[in-house]
Amino acid sequence: MKFFLIAATFLSALVALIWVGIASAIPVVSVAELGAPEVVGTEVEVKDGQVQLIHSFAPLVFTVSSRNVKGQLVVVESPRSVPENFKPGIDVGLRGTFDRQKNRFVASVVTTKCPSKYEASKDAKEAGPYTGSQQAAAPGATQIR
């Protein structure tokens, strides 16, 4: 009986924590939704950001657009480090708040996707638009010796 009481208390505490966690969750929005009144001033996570232009590295200021819906551009400012492999065209994860006065998104977290070993795209399956200009091993055009 004691065990069941302890287990019940334990589980109740956990359920309460889960409830608090869910209640305090951060909404995930797209770049296109960033200017919306219900989003301004609220901490959000941006799901479809893609870097378009880098303005400065310290502080980190850059422009993102939506990966899926082209058009809207949003300026992002962050006090954080420049993430790995940060460049125009790369997908970024952002967390922060849209500041209406500055008209920019102030990001507390900026992450780039880690190119994992299990990534789906394979060079051989979709030969990409690689120019080969810096290819050290085999300069010049295709050679068949």
Partner 1 sequence: MEILNFGRQLLLLATGLTVVIFLLSLLGLCLKDRRFVVSARTGFYALLALTGGSAGCLVHGFVNGVYDCEYIYNYSEKLLPTGFKIACLWAGLDGSLLFWTFLVTLYSAALAFQHRWSSRHPTGRRLEPYVYLVLTSVIFFFCLVTYQENPFESMTFEKRLQLASSHNIAMDSLGSLTDGSGLNQQLVNYWFVIHPPVLYLGFTAWTVPFALALAALLAGELGDYWIRVVRRWTMVAWIFLTSGIILGGLWAYRQLGWGGYWAWDPVENASFLPWCTGTAFLHSIMIQERRDMLKAWNLLLILTSFFLTIVGTWMTRSGVVDSIHAFAGGDIGTKFQYFLFAIAAVSLLLFAFRLRQLRGTSRLESMLSRESAFFLNNWILVLIAAVVFFLSFYDKISHDYFGKDLKNPGLFNMLTTPLFAMLLFLTAVGPCLGWVKTSREKLRANLLWPLAASCVFVGLLYLFFSLRGLLGTWGEVLPLSWVAWSKLLRPESQHPSAFYPTGVFLGLSFFIVSTVTFEFLRGMKSRMLDRKEDILTAFFNLVVRQNRRYGGYVVHIGIAILTTGIIASSMFKVKEENAKLVVGESVKVGPYEVTPTQKTLVSEVRPGEPYWRDEVKFQVTRVPAQALPVAHGAEAAKASAHREIVAELDTERRFYPKKQEWISEVSIHRKLLEDIYIYYPMGDEQGNIYVTVFLNPLMMLIYLGWFTMIGGALFAAIPISGSKVGLSE
Residue 4 sits in the site that holds partner 1 (CB under 8 A): no
Q: Which is nearer to partner 1, 101 or 133 (CB)?
A: 133
Please spell the DSSP secondary structure of 40-94, one letter per residue: TTSEEEEEEEEEEEEEEETTEEEEEEESSS-S-EEEEEESSPPPTT--TT-EEEE
Between CA 91 and CA 98 the distance in angstroms is 19
Note the Cα 5 to chain centre separation in Å. Answer: 44
H-run or E-run covering 21 = helix 2-23
Between CA 64 and CA 66 the distance in angstroms is 7
Which one among 4, 17, 19, 52 touches partner 1, defined by CB under 8 A? 17
Least distance from partner 1 to the Cβ atom of residue 22, Å: 7
Least distance from partner 1 to the Cβ atom of residue 24, Å: 6
Between CA 82 and CA 104 the distance in angstroms is 18
In the DSSP assignment, the letter for residue 135 is -
Q: Which is nearer to partner 1, 101 or 125 (CB)?
A: 125
Considering only residues 41 through 100, tell me which ones interact with partner 1, judged by CB under 8 A.
Answer: 45, 47, 57-60, 79-87, 93, 95
Least distance from partner 1 to the Cβ atom of residue 72, Å: 18
Residue 2 sits in the site that holds partner 1 (CB under 8 A): yes
User: Which residues of this protein are in contact with partner 1, per CB under 8 A?
Assistant: 2-3, 6-7, 10, 13-14, 17-18, 20-22, 24-29, 45, 47, 57-60, 79-87, 93, 95, 111, 113-120, 122-125, 127-132, 134-145
